[in-house]
Amino acid sequence: DIQMTQSPSSLSASVGDRVTITCRASQGISNYLAWYQQKPGKVPKLLIYAASTLQSGVPSRFSGSGSGTDFTLTISSLQPEDVATYYCHGRWTFGQGTNVEIK
């Protein structure tokens, strides 16, 4: 089975900060990597797929990169509405999630 390891498990940053979340696959998964956002009490939402393709309607401050085993989700300027848990998902395996809060 593929294992997906996210880091950090939680972070606190100020509005306007650049935030980076990383995800590492236990074996190469090419670019089969997606990122989801789940706000408290809400249904998860696809942000990025194929490692770097922004889903329609997602703000451009979100971006993704990586290939093989190492991937990154970046929020270029953190906004209050970005408070959520973020999950990477590689070939049918989810990471454990990163909880993002505002400092």
Q: Minimal distance in Å, beta carbon 21 to other proteins?
A: 14
Count of Cβ atoms closer than 10 Å to residue 57 Cβ = 8
- The answer to whether the peptide bond before residue 40 is cis (omega within 30 degrees of 0) is no
Closest CB to other proteins among residues 72, 85: 85
Q: Minimal distance in Å, beta carbon 55 to other proteins?
A: 6
Closest CA to 15 of 75, 90, 97, 57: 75
Closest CB to other proteins among residues 45, 61: 45
Closest CB to other proteins among residues 17, 24: 24
In the block, tokens 């590689």 appear at: 90
Residue partners of 79: CB distance under 8 A and separation at least 6: 15, 61
**Binding positions for other proteins, rule: CB under 8 A:** 1, 32, 34, 36, 38, 43-46, 49-50, 53, 55-56, 85, 87, 89, 91-97
Closest CB to other proteins among residues 44, 68: 44
